[in-house]
Structures are given as structure tokens and as C-alpha cells.
Amino acid sequence: MPCTTILVGKKASHDGSTIISRNDDGGFEAKQVLVIKPEKQPGKYKTVISHLTVELPDDPLQYTSVPNVTKTNGVWPACGINSANVAMTATETITSNPRVVGADPYVVYQKKEGRNGKEVPGGIGEEDLLTLVLPYIKSAREGVLRVGALLEQYGTYEANGMAFSDSDEIWWLETIGGHHWIAKRVPDDRVVIMPNQFGMDQFDFEDAYGAKKEHLCSADLKDFVEKNHLYTGRDDVFNPRLAFGSRADSDHIYNTPRAWFMARYFMERTYKWDGPDADFTPESNDIPWSLVPERKVTVEDVRYLLGSYYQGTPYNPYDNTSPLKGKYRTIGVPNSDVCGILQIRGYMPDAIKGVHWYSMGGSGFTACFPFYANVDALPKYLSGTTDTVSTDSAYWQSRLIAALTDAHYGSNILFDERYQKAVWNRGTQLLNEYDEKILKGEDVKLLSEANQKITDMVKKESDKALGAILRSSSEHMKIRYHRGDN
């Protein structure tokens, strides 16, 4: 499942928030945004893909979720924030290598074969993890420990990375083979960039087996590495990417260029990014996993990157003057089902700490808007999506706007940019207005009113943009003629 992740530590963000974010590049699966009440969380969970039954604790928290509308291929809840103001995004598909998977094979579902055959359940995977973890954790660290325990008990059938945040910390976890895992606390002053590859490039086993302050892992991970001769590095500092990741030609087209563009954005002056003497190129294998950005990072920065397509470089697929256009896989792609940016604002009261910023469906041409997580339900424009295309759904309306903008980029991008800016401006204004009301002591029930007002605004601006873009696209249809007679 191709995705892109950006994590922003509290000292790297402009307001002291922790920010975890990800494009869920699912493949045109309609999404709805739901609030899952504790009484709706099952006591037993049956996975769709691996046919595994997992017993769940009996004390779940309320949480938000962005599942697929149709569950035929699994739930895939993507990301959410629970009532303890802990956020989770799961998951980023990452890479591995045959040495790792051969030493600890994936736990793959086996169908019943023949009359006397037996069905063998597989492990857990991306479609399951948010449901299995987010309702039961009260800190980012607890999220890591719960996932680690589940991996050790049930295993997994795929390689994934996932992020957890609370108001103080961000943790990143990556799976290793079928049962092993590694996790690292994101330094407060850093930004992490993840483009579908094994990411971590430094790890301290001494801390992981000692104080466990910044590093956590499977209890036997170091022995696993040594026994199976997994490490290929020569430095004193252990580089997990060299041990557990990949170094394939396809990475240089599909993955590393995205890391290059994101790092270039955050560290524009620190390194040289272009030309024959560049410090890093789009095909470099050693682009850092984490960076200290040259300036404080905003939600707008994160959303720009998650919708980006190599603007300002020769690789922009819409630049018809460049022979290199479209050479590399972009970050913003049409099969992004949702871009979720989860902000935990430690300086705010608990009721308004957790804010979602969502962009539904499409690529870089959809509007991003906020809503409060600590509510009993969400507006129908978000929660009422069906598998039928409708402009009454944020998901489908956004996808329509994105598809038409892409089809006639030159004539439609201006309308789309105006649309995105209008939603950003008004959404931020409404968030500030309702923040002030809560800070002045008004009832937190106003948060549902705020979410409704924000989504009503998004619907109005989307109607307006869709009309303008549809008209422009119609005027550029190939069968249009300009003769004055009938």
C-alpha cells in the first residue's frame, strides 16, 4: 500500500504541537470519517484478510477512524485520535529484504486445501492495526508497546511502519519480518520523512535494552541480527535501514525521490540538492530519516508536501517543457484516499487538544480542513459516504474536483488554488473562533456545532469550485466547436 508519512516534533512545529501525518494511498476506496463509541468496539475482532480472531480488552476508549465504506477488502481505518488525545496513523508500507524475511517469515493466511485440510489464520496487518490499538492506549509509548506485543503474539503478513503521538512525544515503529519490531522516539526538534521504505537510520541498542528512553524493540532483536548476519554497515552507530531495508532499483524511481523532495523543502539551504555536485539526489540511498528543519513547520507545510508533485523541479509531470517530467513517483497521487494530518496541541485544554486536518480523495488538488476530534459524532458530509458517487460526500466531491483539475491542469489549476486557499483561510478562522469560545469556558458541546459549520463551509466552497472547474473542463472538450451558426 503506497503511502507517504511526515512527523513533526513539538519543538519543530510552529506552535509546539506534535503532528503526525500520512497519505493513505489506497486505490480508490471510498472513505468515511467516524467516531467509534466504546460500546461499538467489538470484544472480538475478526480480520478480513488473514481470517484471524483477536480477543480485545473490555475497556476501550472513544476514537475517530477513517475506514473504507465497503469492507470487502478489509476495514483500513487509516488514522485517528482517541479520547485520551493520543493519535495514531497506520500504516506506511515499508520495504525489507530476503535475509530478513527468510529468517523470520511473514505469517500468511493459508486456505483449507482438500477434505482433510485445515485453515490456518495469518497475522495482523494494516487493515487491522488502528482498531486493535488506538482504543486501548493513553500515550504514544503505550501504542508502541501494544503493537509490539501483538506482533510477537500473532505476527504480521506484511512490512509496515506506524506513528503514535501525544502532546509530548511522537514514536515511530517499523515491523521486521513476521514477528520482530523496532521503534524510536522522534526527537522533539526534528521532522521525519517516510516514503515507503524502511526508514530508521540510527538506533541505540544500549538504550533499548536499558533505560528505554528513546528506543524500544523486540527483546531478542540484537541476537536476531547477529545470528542471521543481517547488518551490512561499517559504522559504530547501528543503521537499521542497512540491516532491514531494501536497496532496489525500483526504490530510486518510486521511493527515494519523494524523500529527496521533502528533505529539500525542509533543508533548502543546508544542503545542495541539484546539479552534478549535489549532496543528495533523487536517487540517493542515504537521505536522512530525520532532519532539523531550517524553520518552524506548520500544518500548511505538511499538507503542501503530502499533495506535492515535484513543483519547481524538472520532474513535475505537468511541465510539458521538461524531458524529465513524470520520471519519478510523486507524493500526491490520484489514488490517495485520504490525507490525514493529526495535530495534538499540548497548550490547549483536553477538550480541544486533538484536531484532525483532512483532505479527502485525489491528489494535490483537494482542500484540507480541520475538525475537532472530541465529539460524539461527525457531520454526514464526512461520515455518510457510500460507494455511490455523490456531491453530498466530502470524499466523492473532492475526488471529482481532483480528477477534473488533473485532466485540464493548465486551465483549471487557478480555480483549484483559489478553492484550496478559501477553505484553508475560513477553516482556520472557524477553528480559532471556537478555540476562543472553549477557552472562555463555553460548553464543549459547541465542538459539534463547530465541525458542522466547518463542513458546511467546505461543502459550499466545493460546490463553487466544482462548478467552475466543470465548466472550464467542458469548454476544453475535444468535440467543442466555435462556429456561430447552428
Q: Which residues are catalytic?
A: 3
Handedness of CA 66, 68, 70, 75 (dihedral sign): negative
Question: Of 153, 154, 151, 171, which is closest to residue 162 (Cα–Cα)?
Answer: 171
Contact between 194 and 160 under an 8 Å Cβ cutoff? The reply is no
End-to-end CA distance of the chain: give it in Å, rounded. Answer: 52
**C-alpha span between 376 and 137 (Å, rounded):** 19
**C-alpha span between 119 and 48 (Å, rounded):** 14
**C-alpha span between 8 and 299 (Å, rounded):** 9
Residue 44, judged by CB atoms within 10 A of its CB (0-12, 13-18, 19+), counts as exposed
**C-alpha span between 292 and 211 (Å, rounded):** 25
Cell 486493535 locates to 132
Question: At 440, which amino acid appears?
Answer: K
Mutual angle of helices 140-154 and 126-133, in 10-degree steps: 130
**C-alpha span between 486 and 468 (Å, rounded):** 26
- Backbone angles phi and psi of 384, in degrees to 5: -95, 15
Question: Which three three-digit cell numbers place residue 476?
Answer: 476544453
Alpha carbon 61 to its chain centroid, in Å, reads 22
- Backbone angles phi and psi of 200, in degrees to 5: -55, 135
Cell 476506496 locates to 29
**C-alpha span between 55 and 45 (Å, rounded):** 7
